[in-house]
Amino acid sequence: MFGFGKRGPASDADARKQAIERAKEACLKELRDMHEATPDAAERLHKRLKDRCGSDKSLPFDFKRALLEKARTYECNANMRETDRLLHEANRLAAEEHMTERAKKLGAARRHFSKACTLGADEDFRKAAQRAMETIMLTGGVHHKGPTKAKPADFAPKTPNRAKA
């Protein structure tokens, strides 16, 4: 009648539904960004999603719970990937006798390992990572250059080659 257009309870409900769908889509986009993120980025995105879900009361409870569970899984996977990468690098450094670099990589791997365990890493990963850490600790640092008490230098003269030509 006055040119304001049709605005009633039905259009308000539609507008609320659209706002909820936009909020859901924004959350799912952030979740997709977490899929292949580094552990630091995954932790930051997980915290942002937690804050968003805590402050946005319009999102359904089941959606929030499923979203945060998936975000936790993605953050755990990021820490597991980083642990695995660091353990492989530490193993390579141990084999090359670079003990200080090995210790740094192993320390970083342990930090990511504990974070992954806190986030719910499965038992197989835990056991495999612990075995790898023990193996890396026992690898390297054993080779001694020159004669040792256990393997003295060979002072005996070489035997001449008496093979028939």
Local mean pLDDT, 10-residue blocks, the chain (165 residues): 54 87 91 92 94 89 94 96 96 90 95 96 96 90 72 81 75
Q: Copy the structure tokens of residue 158.
A: 């070489």
Q: Copy the structure tokens of residue 92.
A: 């390579």
CB proximity list for 58: less than 8 A, separation 6 or greater: 16, 19, 20, 23
| Dist. CA 69–CA 154, nearest whole Å | 65
pLDDT value of position 6: 54
Nearest Cα to Cα of residue 108 among 127, 136, 149, 73: 136
| Dist. CA 104–CA 100, nearest whole Å | 6
pLDDT value of position 149: 78
pLDDT value of position 13: 84
Cβ atoms 82, 38 nearer than 8 A: yes
